[in-house]
Amino acid sequence: MARIHRLSPRLANQIAAGEVVERPASVVKEVLENAVDAGATRIEVDVEEGGVKLIRIRDNGQGMEPDDLPLALARHATSKIHSLEDLERVGSLGFRGEALASIGSVSRLTLTSNHRDDSSEGCSALCEGRDMEVAVKPAPHPRGTTVEVRDLFFNTPARRKFLRTEKTEFNHLEEVVKRLALSRFDVGFSLRHNGRGIHSLRPADSTAERQRRVASVCGPAFMEQAVYVEHERGGLRLWGWVGLPTFSRSQADLQYFFVNGRVIRDKLVAHAVKQAYRDVLYHGRHPAFVLYLELDPALVDVNVHPTKHEVRFRDGREVHNFIFSSLHKALADVRPGQGGSDPVSALGAGETVDLQTGEIRAQSALAWGGPAPAPALSEGRAMPVGGYQGYSSAPASPVRAAEQMRAYGQLHPANAPLPEAEAEDVPPLGYALAQLKGIYILAENASGLVLVDMHAAHERITYERLKLARDAEGIRSQPLLVPQAVAVSSREVALALENSELFARLGMQVDGAGEESLLIRQIPVALRDSNVEQLLRDVLSDLAEYGSSDRIEAHMDEILSTMACHGSVRANRRLTLPEMNALLRDMEETERAGQCNHGRPTWTQLGLDELDRLFLRGR
């Protein structure tokens, strides 16, 4: 008897189902993608018992001919690719042609379709998880297709035992619908569970409608604390919404990234986003975002994972740097009172940390701005900066403390209320009123009361000033008296030599000393007390994994952050009104002024409406 034999078609399909069909959500994903590829503009999803008992998905796409139904249920049969060239430029969500065959091998599947406008026509095919000829029979159906999946895993009880509770399975299924709803704004979606409507999303064509859909899927709090991003360079286009650093999560559960309309979870993308949020996000928190990357399909391989959740970019380093630079600039440009593109409106005043949802909401009225002028010390004030005055090479701010005080006096003659006509002339953070307990600055702006943590705010200002000075002067390096040898792999030696220019820009000189050895000859002055060997290993690891690394910059930024912390105003330091106003003006000019170096918020707004509620005014 031959030791090698062919698998039966049924067993082959069930093995394939192990890769494609993990749970009811997997079925919904595959069928929804087919509906979108068929040109549907309306998709209805009905499920029962979390999708285990029934999944019914109806679309108004182009439908199928009667002769196509048996082929649709066969393995490796598809209308989406015809040659290797098509596979290299995949533009559809599905393309392998094994989804329906795999689903049919572990369920009772009925496929009904009609490619004509006459609803009296149409055909139906049935597959019940066993070897059989697919019988096609007439079935009235409007233009489009309905896929009905009953009793999932009825013939593979071991697989069914691994399913979770009905609620858990439905949550996974709902997440699939949400992802596709975010990827295709031009398609309407409805979802019903056990006869109860869960989602009803109309097609979203305008910007406002898209924002409403994102708010419906991700929650209104996200859109209230998100800014719109759009950047294009070298054939790459990135657009979407990123949450402010103060709107962070305890888990990475509000992160959606799409490549040419396909939702992915990619380590390279995650690393680029993490880098962009590096020094504005509170420790241990995760950013929230809905982002779309568009590029030539030939530059990305979507056929690297059975569930198509991962992709491979032809030039991963370029994609990484593009995503990082786009988001880094976007987050830097969010400052109080800056003009530019219209932002998504900020959250209402006085929001705080929600420990249940893991969302931090501490600021409001942050605007989306253009490039910032270089922050600098204003003349005529005594703002302490420790021993680091020499780091500031920027010109003096045009806003003088004396001018601020004159304007403040005009706005408040004899403690009169703020005139309505002059409210537009008030700076975004207003003018200082007093200092509270030597910690907080109280200021009045056009919206009401502003509270500023003076140490956190000045810490960010000093930190950004130190970084500007470092970038203007370049990174100072020092040669090692005795070069430090580091044992590495031959692959890491090649990687270090390939990236010698990168190390040189960062103030390090790394030479090869053999097939499995490197020599560190020069290091940045700021890192002379650091574990340079471990840093080199970490950088090489990042270069191998992502094609980029920011560990050296991160270490130097940590040192500057510590210097800024020690050089900033401390608690119980009494400031004069000119000093407080000068600090507010510097905040309005400084990038990332909404958070200190450790990711804590630096200011918050209490509007008049909230103050009225506190004192029951108008009731």
Beta-strand runs (E) in 261-352: 262-264, 289-294, 300-301, 312-313, 334-336
Half-sphere exposure of 40 toward its Cβ, with a 13 Å CA cutoff? 30
Q: Report residue 348's pLDDT band, with 50, 70 and 90 as the boundaries.
A: very low
Q: Report residue 90's pLDDT band, with 50, 70 and 90 as the boundaries.
A: confident
Q: What is the pLDDT of residue 366?
A: 32
Q: What is the pLDDT of residue 15?
A: 75
Q: What is the pLDDT of residue 240?
A: 96
**pLDDT reading at 365 higher than 50:** no
Structural element, H or E, at residue 188? strand 188-193
Question: Do 304 and 312 touch, CB atoms closer than 8 A?
Answer: yes
Fold: same for 9-201 and 207-368? no
Both tokens of 207, joined, read: 């910007």
Structure-model confidence comparison of residues 395 and 479, the more confident one: 479
Helices (H) and strands (E) in the chain — how many of each? 19, 26
pLDDT in tens, 252-290: 999 999 999 999 988 889 999 999 998 888 888 999 999
Q: Is 551 helix (H, G, I), strand (E, B) or coil?
A: helix
**pLDDT reading at 132 higher than 80:** no
509-512 and 477-487 beta bridge pairing = unpaired
Residue (of 27, 18, 37, 78) closest to 57 by Cα position: 27
**pLDDT reading at 96 higher than 90:** no
- How buried is 584 (Cβ within 10 angstroms: 0-12 exposed, 13-18 middle, 19+ buried)? buried
Q: Report residue 395's pLDDT band, with 50, 70 and 90 as the boundaries.
A: very low
The architecture in CATH of the region 207-368 reads: 2-Layer Sandwich (3.30)
**pLDDT reading at 417 higher than 60:** no
Question: Do 569 and 458 touch, CB atoms closer than 8 A?
Answer: yes
Q: What is the mean pLDDT of residues 554-579?
A: 82
Q: Report residue 398's pLDDT band, with 50, 70 and 90 as the boundaries.
A: very low
What is the share, in percent, of the chain residues with pLDDT greater than 70? 85
Q: What is the pLDDT of residue 532?
A: 87
Both tokens of 523, joined, read: 């290091």
Lowest mean pLDDT among 55-69, 198-212, 304-318, 426-440: 304-318
Contacts of 183 (CB under 8 A, 6+ apart): 258, 261, 262, 263
Q: What is the pLDDT of residue 85?
A: 80
List, in sequence order, the alpha helices (H) in 339-453: 401-411
Structural element, H or E, at residue 42? strand 42-48
Q: How many Cβ atoms from other residues are within 10 Å of residue 521's Cβ? A: 16
The top-level CATH class assigned to 372-619 is: alpha beta
Q: What is the mean pLDDT of residues 130-137?
A: 72
Residue with tokens 């992160």: 255
Q: What is the pLDDT of residue 377?
A: 34
Q: What is the pLDDT of residue 131?
A: 59
**pLDDT reading at 386 higher than 60:** no
- Residue extents of the structural domains in the chain: 9-201, 207-368, 372-619
DSSP state of 369: -
The CATH superfamily holding the domain 9-201 is Histidine kinase-like ATPase, C-terminal domain (3.30.565.10)
Half-sphere exposure of 338 toward its Cβ, with a 13 Å CA cutoff? 27
Q: What is the mean pLDDT of residues 73-79?
A: 82
Contacts of 403 (CB under 8 A, 6+ apart): none
Q: What is the mean pLDDT of residues 461-478?
A: 85
Q: Report residue 6's pLDDT band, with 50, 70 and 90 as the boundaries.
A: confident
What is the share, in percent, of the chain residues with pLDDT greater than 90? 47
Q: Return the amino acid letter for 303.
A: N
- How buried is 606 (Cβ within 10 angstroms: 0-12 exposed, 13-18 middle, 19+ buried)? middle
Q: What is the signed CA dihedral for 447, 450, 456, 459, rounded to 10 degrees? A: 60
Q: What is the mean pLDDT of residues 71-75?
A: 86
Distance CA 311, CA 115 (A): 33
Q: What is the pLDDT of residue 360?
A: 32
Q: What is the mean pLDDT of residues 72-76?
A: 84
Most confident region among 2-6, 16-20, 33-37, 388-392 by mean pLDDT: 33-37
Please report the DSSP string for 74-139 in residue order: STT--SS--SHHHHHT--SS--SS-HHHHHHTTSEEEEEEE-SS-TT--EEEEE-SSS-PPPEEE-
Lowest mean pLDDT among 137-146, 412-421, 500-509: 412-421
Cα-based angle 446, 449, 455 (whole degrees, multiple of 5): 120
Mean pLDDT across the chain: 82
pLDDT in tens, 159-192: 898 999 999 999 999 999 999 999 999 999 999 9
Question: Do 332 and 276 touch, CB atoms closer than 8 A?
Answer: no
**pLDDT reading at 354 higher than 60:** no
Q: Report residue 307's pLDDT band, with 50, 70 and 90 as the boundaries.
A: low
Q: Report residue 130's pLDDT band, with 50, 70 and 90 as the boundaries.
A: low
Residue (of 548, 552, 555) closest to 267 by Cα position: 548
Distance CA 117, CA 356 (A): 50
Beta-strand runs (E) in 132-187: 136-138, 144-150
Lowest mean pLDDT among 52-61, 314-323, 381-390, 527-536: 381-390
Residue with tokens 């858990």: 168
Q: What is the mean pLDDT of residues 101-125?
A: 90
Please report the DSSP string for 313-329 in residue order: ETTHHHHHHHHHHHHHH
Distance CA 117, CA 587 (A): 62
